[in-house]
Amino acid sequence: MIPQAWKENRPKIMRRGCFFLVVLVFGILQISDVLPTFFGIRFLPLLPLTVVLGMFERETYGLYYGLLAGIMWDMNLGDGDGFNAFFFAFVGFFCGLLMTYLMMNNLITASILCTVSILLYFILHWIIFVAVKGFDGGISILFYKNLPTALLNIATFPLYYYGVRAIMKSFKLKENDELSF
């Protein structure tokens, strides 16, 4: 005896569960240092993934996925300030909000939102954790570590966009098949 709500919403629930697992897997890959680094430049898949999930799942679930990704990243850092959780939740919510009311979901808007989000993250992170604390050589950290990492992640975001879009389309097809009699 399966409740009617489960039968009607099963593709949505399964899609969101799949995205939850994707965020967990990419979070584990990011914090376990399995992903390759090039001259100190790292792949950070959680930020572009949060932007893309916010675009496809809209504001509410974009907020949840962003919060999950940010909490995972903050737990790895160990300082407990919550900057990543707040920023990622805001980005997921804001990207979903823009897709709902202002923009169309395509690769061009995804590239704009992802570029702005990634650059904003690295600049704010540098201001809060390097410039305010007055580290010597703070400008070199910005130009030789943060900005190249941002550019690498901006260049790789289409992989996340097309991956999330493929998952979304496969579950949309299941959703449409179940509703037709």
pTM: 0.87
**Structural domain spans, the chain:** 12-33+44-172
Note the pLDDT tens digit of each residue in 20-45. 999 999 999 988 878 888 887 888 89
Note the pLDDT tens digit of each residue in 89-120. 999 999 999 999 999 999 999 999 999 999 99
Question: Could you tell me if 160 and 49 are in contact, meaning their C-beta atoms sit under 8 angstroms apart?
Answer: yes
Residue with tokens 């010597």: 136
Instruction: List the one residue out of 23, 10, 7 whose CA is nearest residue 56.
Output: 23
Q: Give how far Cα 29 sits from Cα of 46, 76, 93, Å.
A: 10, 12, 24
- Per the prediction, the chain carries an average pLDDT of 88
